[in-house]
Amino acid sequence: MNPIAKNILAVVAGFLIGSLVNMGLINIGPSVIPLPEGADMSTMENLRDSMQLFTPRNFIFPFLAHALGTFTGAFVAAKIAASHHMKLAICIGVLFLLGGVAAASMLGGPLWFTVVDLLLAYIPMGLQGGLLARGKRLQAT
């Protein structure tokens, strides 16, 4: 297969699989950690209005969804890629980061969660997914 086509396929596959992981965790989250009384996630508007009812524990699964979705997507992209493995893994991190910024601007939520989510769930997880796919470890200096 043409290396350029394989790299494009790697990014598409990474994005799709990462998105499936993300949505799967978002969907099972409320069954593991129940929503507060009166919270409604049926529409984006209702979810935005319900954010004020959420406690810190209600943000665990959204963070895990964002981090593990990005990690999985980056891992898949780096594994499938013909070349530029780490660049494509970071590309997945950037794509998910853009989605995270869009979600944060639409939904709001507490500032602490937005900062933690945007700083830790996307680019660092894209980097870790790419490193794991290439069989390397991130070394502490």
> Is the pLDDT assigned to residue 19 strictly greater than 90?
yes
Q: Is the pLDDT of residue 140 over 60?
A: no
Mean pLDDT of all residues in 28-51: 90
Q: Quick one: angle between helices 3-32 and 60-80, nearest 10?
A: 160
- Asked if residues 67 and 26 have their Cβ atoms less than 8 Å apart, the reply is no
Per-residue confidence (pLDDT) for residue 1, from 0 to 100: 85
Residue 140 counted as domain residue: no
Instruction: Tell whether the model's pLDDT for residue 130 goes beyond 90.
Output: yes
Q: Are 40 and 50 in contact (CB under 8 A)?
A: yes
pLDDT digits (tens, 9 = 90+) for 25-36: 999 999 999 999
Q: What pLDDT is stored for residue 126 in this prediction?
A: 97
Query: What pLDDT is stored for residue 137 in this prediction?
Result: 60
Taking the CB of residue 108, how many other CB atoms lie within 10 A of it?
A: 15
141 belongs to a structural domain? no
Q: Which of 60, 127, 64 is nearest to 94 (CA)?
A: 127
Please indicate, yes or no, if residue 111 is contained in any of the structural domains.
yes
72 contacts 128 by C-beta, under 8 angstroms: no
CB-CB contact of 54 with 39 (8 Å): yes
Q: Where are the beta strands (DSSP E) in the chain?
A: none
* Domain of 56, in residue numbers: 3-133
In angstroms, the CA 129 to CA 91 distance is 11
pLDDT score, position 136 = 66
The CA dihedral of 74, 76, 81, 83, to the nearest 10 degrees, is 40
Greater pLDDT, 86 or 50: 86
Residue at 139 is within a domain: no
Residue 5 confidence (pLDDT) above 60: yes
Instruction: Report the alpha-carbon distance of residue 26 to residue 138 in Å, rounded.
Output: 28
Q: For the chain, what is the domain count?
A: 1
Q: In this structure, is residue 138 part of a structural domain?
A: no
What is the model's pLDDT at position 134?
A: 87
Per-residue pLDDT tens over the stretch 72-128: 999 999 999 999 999 999 999 999 999 999 999 998 889 999 999 999 999 999 999
